[in-house]
Structure 1
Amino acid sequence: MRIAIIGAGAAGLATAKVLLQAGHHVTVFDKAPDVGGVWSRTRRYPGLTTQSPKTQYSLSDFPMPKSYPEWPTGEQIQSYLEAYAAEFAVDSTLRLNTEVTAARVAGNGQWTVTTRDGTELFDRLVVANGVFCEPAVPQYPGLDKFTAAGGRLCAGTDFLDVEDARDKYVLVVGYGKSACDVALAISRVAASTDVIARQMLWKLPRKIGGVVNFKRLMLTRLGEALFPYRRRRGFEKFLHGAGNRLRRGMLNSVGSVSVRQFGLRRHGLVPAGQMEDIVRGAIGLATEGFFEAVADGTVTVHRDRTITRLSAGAAELNDGTKLPADLIVCATGFRQDVPFLAEDVQQQLLDERGNFLLYRQILPADIPGLYFNGYNSSFFSPLNAEMAALWIAAHLAGALDLPSVPEIRQAVTQQVAFMDAVTDGHHCHNTKIIPFSMHNVDEVLEDIGLNIKARVRASHWFNPVDPAAYRSLTPALLERLASAQRLRPAVEPTPLVPEVERLDADAG
């Protein structure tokens, strides 16, 4: 088949690699000039690093260079993904600097894809544009007066050069990892750096107590099992039953260590509730050096505050405080957006609250020929995307035995309801699966009928999950699909689809 993939981030590249190996003709579109998605040089803010350590953020059959630090920089991750594309010949499929303006149903599962170069027909479409593709930037009252006086307001992903903050009064809006990353980088050159935090969030130390790498708690199957999943198996039943007190104690003890380690009580930055509530906000890693900057006054955090109005050279907060401001960087989250899909398709794809109705975070129940990848943001995003790519390859080959369409719809509705309950609605419109990364991997592989050995999975209960353990699954699936193809009875050959078929711009 000829398959179009929109997006050249980790999910798009992993999908292209697997589908190429499965014998398909692939074209990958991206509006950026380079691969990498969130790691592209066009949106890489100063101070950007991974949240997960390099081993856990790697693709299964392509380890990161040994020279990389435990938490690689954004530039290093982009270079890694570029090398991955070259290693597996995905670079030959790329059309960079090419924005998809429309993708339309053409019938029989086929799609037309329109760019500035024209419109082409594809047999299937994979959307991998990323769930962090469109920054959500507040439009404050008085913004026109602020900018007329020379002020600048921008998204974090549009702030690319720390020198733009030199000797300026800077406000960073937000308290997630990206806000703290960019605030720390800015504080080294700015006249002042104030963080406007609407809500305090629990932060995990990279080294708990300064000793234990956080991956040994949170990036294990045991760490994931500390949070209640909708289907509990084995030891999970104990943890959320007779062992509930033990489970809560394990999580909340990390919170107590964090409060002491970061001096949160001294700075008035202790979040409400307990560490077990972390899943209801954002499970974020603390930026190395951020709380030290708070302690020495380089960074000031205004907790439980929002900006209510801007004026020339200043911002007013909801408690009446006025702060000098030349630059406002908004690390205020993202919209999950697919503007290239027609309105009628979006109505089938989204519920009334904008949640993506995707089975296994991949398949819309009622839209033939359309798949999503990367809509499973997690601590192991590359691994989750890679396993989703295997699922797509198996589905394209007719090798999945899935429930009926009504059953799929019901399963998706139940999944959204569960995530609403457990995360208090903080699941990025059903595109974030944290903290249930490995549950998703298991379910995807269960559909395919593949998995790694049980003893290896068992080792991941107490040791950090290693994506390299899954490297044998792609060749295993490809061999299975090839064997099935060899066993099929001979049929009349179908006409070949031209490698590039140009259509009128309004086709489809």
Structure 2
Amino acid sequence: MRVGIIGAGVAGLATAKTLMQAGHEVVVYDSAPDVGGVWSRTRRYPGLTTQSARSTYGFSDYPMPKDLPEWPSGAQVQSWLAAYAEEFRIPTRLNARVSRAAPVDGRWAVTLDSGEVDVVDRLVVANGVFCEPTMPDLPGQEAFIEAGGEVMAGTEMHDASLARGRNVLVVGYGKSACDVTMPLSQEAASTHVIARQLLWKIPRKIANVMNFKMLLLTRMGEALFRYHRLRGVEKFLHGPADPVRRSMLNSIGTVSRRQFKLDKLGLVPRGTMEGIVKGAIGLATEGFFEGVEQGSIVVHRDTTITRLRPGFAELSDGTTLPADLIVCSTGFKQSVPFLDVPGLQDDRGNFLLYRQILPLCADGLYFNGYNSSFFSPLNAEMAAVWIAAHLAGAVPLPAPDEMRTQVEKQIAFMDEATDRHHGHGTKIIPFSMKNVDEVLGDLDLNISKRVRASHWLNPIDPSAYREVTPALVARLRAQSPAGIPPRPTSLPSGSR
């Protein structure tokens, strides 16, 4: 088949490579001038790094180079993805924004902004769940801008020197807000962070010794959070050992308070570390709390901007701050404006996707990357394997009513687990590997129990899944009378 893929980020590239190996022709569309999605030079902000450690953030057969730092920068990740696209000869159409995609006679017509219409047999939406920034409503913004002030999304801030000598306000307290604050604070006359809600931050090295990947980027770390289907040791952890489980999680909060001097700084979040998933699991930005202690960064907790006026911002606590530049790192919308498919979302905007992949309302349509996780490349790659199997009719599916029931139960569970902070059903943290297990379980392609057991105490190693795609390709070739057209099922020469 000829498969169109919208988006050349992690999910789009993984889908293209996997489907090519399964014998399909693909074309990848992206509005940016380069591959990478959130890592594109058009979207990355100063201070951007991965949240997961380098060894865990990779494809099964294409890890990041070992000479990169533990938490690679945005530019380094984009370079790695560009090398991946070149290594596997992925056909991409860059600067090609999709304005509309619609079913036509069992196929899909993809219309670009240029007016060109491309027809494909199947369509994969991989535009990313962080594609459109959410901007707060700031009364007085027009007059503020007319007087020379600037308001921008964090993804629009590409050069820290824009803050030089200016009074900067960063709105938000998630990882992106704290990341962008650091380089701006080194240029600005003053830097204030406006935090509606404080979030717990996990040290990159707990107690300055243990890499956080040894705790939370393992199956044990994932099992500390209650899933709606408990298995094996999880039943013990959330049963007789529940006090120990709670203590393990909350001890990280105790370490964070001490390590970052949160009590002294007045930045202890409400609640306990156990409730971290109800807000966001965020890795601490290097130097952020040191900047607060030194006074180069000022955090205004539990406040919002109520009004802007020329040169100033008024806060909900009555404070008035000088302001020239306002950077909003306030989250993202999960948006598919080019796709008009009734029944794709429920009345709250949640995407109704079986296994985070298959919509319940349209044939020949798939999603990938709508399973945002700590291990996004691996989750996207395994979803691509599922898509390849489904294209070949090799995925046993429940009846439509049962699929809908499962999707609704999953959303209801995530509502409870994350207090509805799941990006309209697109965020699966902290249940990343649960998703991988379920996807591969459908295909009877999961890796051995022994290797999975090793990931209970050791960080997840994406290379453990290296043989999954070749195994599927071999199975499809054996089942197809005509076979699959020759495609590389292992790394080309010269690969890492």
Scaled by the length of structure 2, what TM-score is found?
0.96
- Residues 104, 113 of structure 1: 8 Å contact kept: yes
**Distance across 2 between alignment mates of 1:146 and 1:243:** 55
Question: Which string of whole-angstrom CA distances, capped at 9 and with x for unpartnered residues, describes residues 6-43 of structure 1?
Answer: 00000000000000111111000000000000000001
Q: Which amino acid aligns with 1:140?
A: L
* Match status 1:30 vs 2:30: yes
3-state SS, counterpart of residue 328 of structure 1:
strand
Kindly indicate whether residue 66 of structure 2 is the aligned counterpart of residue 69 of structure 1.
Answer: no
Of the three residues 333, 350, 356, the one matched with 1:355 is 350
Following the alignment from structure 1 to structure 2, what is the Cα–Cα distance between the partners of residues 235 and 32?
45
Q: Deviations for 1:104-130, whole angstroms, at most 9, x for unmatched residues? A: 01132x110001151121110000000
SS at match of 2:254: helix
- Structure 1 range deviating more: 25-34 or 446-455: 446-455
User: Structure 2 CA distance, aligned partners of 1:227 and 1:119?
Assistant: 46
d(CA) in 2 for partners of 1:144, 1:252: 44
CA distance in 1, matches of 2:246, 2:296: 35
The 5 Å alignment of 1:239-258 reads 239-258=237-256
| d(CA) in 1 for partners of 2:85, 2:115 | 23
Cα deviation 1:411-436 (Å, max 9, x = unaligned): 00000000000100000000000000
Q: How does 1:453-492 map to 2 (within 5 A)?
A: 453-486=448-481
The residue number in structure 2 matching 1:281 is: 279
Query: Which residue, out of 390, 399, 408, partners 1:404?
Result: 399
Give 1:385 deviation, angstroms. 0.2
Residue 307 of structure 2 is aligned to residue 322 of structure 1: no
CA distance in 1, matches of 2:482, 2:327: 59
1:113 pairs with 2:97: no
- Counterpart-to-counterpart distance in 2, 1:324 and 1:464: 45
SS of residue matched to 2:343: helix
Spell out the pairing of 1:175-324 with structure 2 (5 A cutoff).
175-324=173-322
1:340 corresponds to which residue?
Answer: 338
Is 1:60 matched up with 2:60? yes
Q: Classify the secondary structure of the residue corresponding to 1:120.
A: strand
CA distance in 2, matches of 1:451, 1:357: 25
**Given residue 49 of structure 1, which amino acid in structure 2 is its aligned partner?**
T
- Which residue type is aligned with residue 441 of structure 1? V
Moved over 3 A (4+): none
The residue aligned with 2:379 is 384
Paired AA for residue 113 in structure 1: V
The answer on whether the counterparts of 1:366 and 1:405 sit within 8 Å (CA) in structure 2 is no
The equivalences for 1:400-479 within 5 A come to 400-479=395-474
Secondary structure, aligned partner of 1:349: coil
Q: Give the Cα–Cα distance (whole angstroms) in 1 for the partners of residues 181 and 130 of structure 2.
A: 19
Pairwise CA distance, 1:64: 1.0
Q: What is the letter of the counterpart of residue 143 of structure 2?
A: K
- Identify which of 148, 151, 157 aligns with 2:155: 157
Q: CA RMSD in A?
A: 0.8
1-structure distance, mates of 2:149, 2:360: 47
Asked if 2 retains the 8 angstrom alpha-carbon contact of 1:187 and 1:299, the reply is yes
Structure 1, unaligned stretches of length 5 or more?
489-508
Q: Note if contact 1:30-1:99 (Cα within 8 Å) is conserved in structure 2.
A: yes
The one-letter amino acid of 2:149's match is G
Specify which of 390, 396, 408 is matched with residue 395 of structure 1: 390
* One-letter amino acid matched to 2:108: W
Match of 1:504 in 2: none
CA–CA separation in structure 2 for the residues paired with 1:200 and 1:49:
21
Deviations 1:354-403 (A, max 9, x none): 00000000001121010000000000000000000000000000001110
Distance 1:389 1:141 in 2: 44
Which string of whole-angstrom CA distances, capped at 9 and with x for unpartnered residues, describes residues 203-257 of structure 1? Answer: 0000000000000000000000000001000000000000100100000001000
The amino acid across from 2:300 in the alignment is H
Q: Give the letter aligned to residue 111 of structure 1.
A: W
1:359-374 counterparts in 2 under 5 A? 359-374=354-369
Q: 2:493 maps to what in 1?
A: none
- 1:98 corresponds, among 96, 99, 102, to 96
1:60 Cα shift?
Answer: 0.7
What's the % identity of the aligned pairs?
Answer: 66
Aligned to 1:50: 50
- TM-score, normalised with respect to structure 1: 0.94
Q: Which runs of 5+ in 2 are unaligned?
A: 484-496
Deviation at 1:319, TM superposition (A): 1.0
